Structure 1
Amino acid sequence: MKRTLTIALTAAALLAAPASAAVLGAVNSDIGKVLVAAKTGMTLYTFRKDAKNQSNCYGDCAEAWPPFVAGASAKADGALGIVARKDGTRQWTLNGQPLYFWAGDQAKGDVTGDGVGGVWDAVRN
């Protein structure tokens, strides 16, 4: 519970920052407000097997859990960071935790990936 609260407070502060607002958004879901990608409205997730500033989700994992890719001109801003992936792409992070989408989500506000395998968590706001 404490971990969720810490992320929620940081996420709320992030949404107030102009640069972060262009990247992140929040929507209501079945589990409360969650962070989403601003352009798509799709829920963002973290993977408990990642290390700080390092993704451990590649291959089949990345097909099911696509990374939230940061464009070449994207810039880190406070708790919203960017990490280099092994495949040469750049991935958004929140407090050093790489962010992902879940291929099973179909619409804005879906949170069907929350708790999958006991290692995936929707980022609550």
Structure 2
Amino acid sequence: MGLLFVELLPRHGDGGGPASAVLKCRRCRVDAASADAILSRDFRGRFGRAYLFDHVVNISLGPNEDRYLMTGLHTVKDIYCSCCQQILGWRYEKAYEESEKYKEGKFILEKARMWKEAR
């Protein structure tokens, strides 16, 4: 087994500005996304509320899978914590409805799988 590369999110408060919260994997506490980067809080996942992001870190991707979600058919990939392999959410690969195309390439992180650390 090789070395594991873990990306740490920048500490915005270090330069004198306000510190932003970081969402981390609930199981192993590795950084996943900045709370400031949430695009929408109006999503639902398998375990309840979920957040939409453009960018997340320290994840690995599962295979493509077609799923019928609340907004129709989508091709998605599950995303896993790169440290502990806990499922954290999914990435939208393809949306079949024109009104849902904005989700393509974006990530869903499930609130129940996240731990929020204020910095």
Which is richer in strand?
2
Question: TM-score, normalised to structure 2's length?
Answer: 0.29
TM-score calculated relative to the size of structure 1 = 0.28
Bigger Rg over Cα = 2
Q: Which has the higher helix share?
A: 1
Give the number of the structure with larger relative contact order, counting CA–CA contacts within 8 Å between residues 6 or more apart: 1
